[in-house]
Structure 1
């Protein structure tokens, strides 16, 4: 018991060492079939789901497909409101249409905010009406501490959830929309000649992983829902409040590894929380450190309270439309948060430009071989530029700035061309 508690508490402390993060970190791991909790840390503390919101957007979209009200080839019109969403986005234009199939792929790979709003308006007529549908569905599923205000996860002070609720949603998605769940395993999606690679880096490298969604805004930190299968057993993990994309992914990997180990041994739930009276004698320092971090976060001035979730209140059945919490420069920062990603891995390197696809792909593959573990095959992105004579730009996407710089340095030493491409390029 003591050993299990220590392991859980050390994980919690590693993410809560800074008071700024103490109020945001939460995690849970559950058996996807039974719902048994294998690990939990702050599972019912409310925070901002960020782009994990799109899992519910997709759930309702899959409901529409199942009912026959929509088909994969149904064309939904893009409104000015949808086209005006902050990045990450496809760059849809008002008045054009997009197929439901492409909306799904855009949400699971690029986490496109404009596509999310097109889906919302196509189903409910308006995004506020769709948010009400999302909240009602959440309550039906047992997500009692979740309220939705938009379809994308862009910053809104009223849009709240918990890791436990997100695990409930992930299990419902897997069990009720099993056929559609396969979309979350999509690695690449081609949109208007451009290859878009998934933001879900952990899925590309964790054995057995097949989804499901990343998320990030400044107020929540780096969030992730993951699911993986080993030996015929599936588990679901949820993390809120990671300090970076790679740190969040590595932490999830550890949680999933430990979750599968618990399934094999049949161990009971692990709670990273206050120890029992019998354990405190050996844990004074660890507990004091954890409480100090939490107390420091709670003692911040009230003017900064928006950066942390408010005390939980019962979720209402009706959700009124609400403006985002930030305006002006703050709104632009919030948009930049989401653009930077569902991952901070939003930098690209270009290793050549060619008149044909094949040599472009060969150049990108050669760069991958040179860089080795720095990138994966899933990072290859052949960007076709239309014109009288098409140009195929050989790129490797999904890198952090430091990775992109290191990659160009290594390629330069190998005599290969390399150009840094920023998130907004």
Structure 2
């Protein structure tokens, strides 16, 4: 793995930075920014997107709307079209699909079909998912539309109907074509649509092995069977795209869709996707813990008074504080960016009581959730927080550990104004006096 690979740089711990002294953070962040800039120029194929499949909340986005080559993630759309035909009764799982000379000519990855062969529709589904067979993709295209070019046009039309506005298909397999482009966000929409529209067929994406004419093929999806909760979808690779993967995963009451594009190797791609998934589940569980604390430990008073009591209960702040909270319950946890945005903090170089205020934006059951909250608020507020420090501080509350999320090195007026801005968005915070 290259030391300048963005997939490596993005996994630097936000918490590690938070625990460093200021000057250490400056040095590390400057170094990481240089590495990131160098890596980005060396790997312009990188993109990532993570979304809560239940709420449609964006949990992570990097280059999510930048044009990328889908490679074999194209076959997700080919499968959508085949599932549509099955659902409409135009095809059955036992139908025999004829292999044309054109289909048989497709290069690897393939089953090695020969002209005149036939393959059952259900076997075609498994071959597309497990083996990522290019010859089978053309077989499906020709069976549904007569030829691959017309099928690609139908794929594009359906993609736009599904909201994949930045996607254009030129073939059914994902083999190289400069006109075949998509985005990480569009592919996540497609994954969501597959699960929503065809739950009766979605289990095929969890298939790890497929046997054809006595030969057993194993999935390229390295997260299946290895990462808890992962239940599909698809991988892809061409030289122009790098290593891509679309993943769906479910744990307890949470379900996610993650897309990573442009990995330098399948191993770095899988490691990065796993890191994003783990971070997202951790933050979502932190949100659930926060809501449970709100429901169990807080008297049902008017919303403003309830917010005061909940905040005090969770944080036990001994310093004077000023409220700037919106009406409502516990602070919501979102993670517009699970992997940290790297930036250089520039707080005043020496102690100045004018900049000794803090801004607390929540207290959570996990450090990851607190870190995610800081990252979200920084994205929401923007410039007013560019000179702020940040910290996640642990405290013991009723026998358990909570993590406070705070911005530091702020002036009192600045902290109050930011709280007002957050309150206008329905977010919770309070300013902590020195």
- Specify the alignment match of 2:383 in structure 1: 277
Checking the alignment, whether the CA contact within 8 Å between 2:50 and 2:256 is kept in structure 1 is yes
Question: How does the TM-score come out when normalised to structure 1?
Answer: 0.62
Q: Distance in 2 between matches of 1:274 and 1:261?
A: 20
- Specify the alignment match of 1:292 in structure 2: none
Distance 1:16 1:188, change over 3 A: farther
Q: Match of 2:182, SS?
A: coil
Q: Match of 2:50, SS?
A: strand
Q: Superposition pairs for residues 13-412 of structure 1, below 5 Å?
A: 17-266=38-287, 267-271=333-337, 276-281=382-387
Checking the alignment, whether the CA contact within 8 Å between 1:108 and 1:183 is kept in structure 2 is yes
Aligned pair count reads 281
Checking the alignment, whether the CA contact within 8 Å between 1:48 and 1:161 is kept in structure 2 is yes
Q: Distance in 2 between matches of 1:273 and 1:187?
A: 35
Q: Match of 1:207, SS?
A: coil
Q: Distance in 2 between matches of 1:102 and 1:251?
A: 31
Question: How does the TM-score come out when normalised to structure 2?
Answer: 0.61
Q: Match of 2:180, SS?
A: coil
- Specify the alignment match of 1:305 in structure 2: none
1:32 CA drift (Å)? 1.0
Q: Match of 1:224, SS?
A: strand
Distance 1:233 1:19, change over 3 A: closer
Farther-moved stretch of structure 1 (30-39 vs 150-159)? 30-39
Q: Match of 1:142, SS?
A: coil
Give per-residue Cα distances to partners, 1:377-403, cap 9 Å, x unaligned.
Answer: xxxxxxxxxxxxxxxxxxxxxxxxxxx
1:273 CA drift (Å)? 6.2
Distance 1:81 1:12, change over 3 A: farther
Checking the alignment, whether the CA contact within 8 Å between 1:216 and 1:223 is kept in structure 2 is yes
Q: Distance in 2 between matches of 1:273 and 1:240?
A: 18
Q: Which has the higher contact order (CA 8 A, sep 6+)?
A: 1
What's the RMSD between the two structures over aligned residues? 2.6
Distance 1:146 1:273, change over 3 A: farther
Checking the alignment, whether the CA contact within 8 Å between 1:15 and 1:25 is kept in structure 2 is no
Distance 1:222 1:279, change over 3 A: farther
Q: Match of 1:227, SS?
A: strand
Q: Distance in 2 between matches of 1:79 and 1:216?
A: 25
Q: Match of 1:153, SS?
A: coil
Distance 1:95 1:234, change over 3 A: same
1:207 CA drift (Å)? 0.7
Q: Match of 1:219, SS?
A: coil
1:233 CA drift (Å)? 1.7
Checking the alignment, whether the CA contact within 8 Å between 1:21 and 1:241 is kept in structure 2 is no
Q: Distance in 2 between matches of 1:103 and 1:257?
A: 32
1:274 CA drift (Å)? 8.4
Q: Match of 2:177, SS?
A: coil
Q: Distance in 1 between matches of 2:40 and 2:90?
A: 48
Checking the alignment, whether the CA contact within 8 Å between 2:93 and 2:121 is kept in structure 1 is yes
Q: Distance in 1 between matches of 2:239 and 2:76?
A: 20
Q: Distance in 1 between matches of 2:32 and 2:202?
A: 30
Distance 1:169 1:26, change over 3 A: same
- Specify the alignment match of 2:354 in structure 1: none
Structure 2's unaligned 5+ residue stretches are 1-12, 19-28, 288-332, 344-381, 390-434
Q: Distance in 2 between matches of 1:132 and 1:12?
A: 42
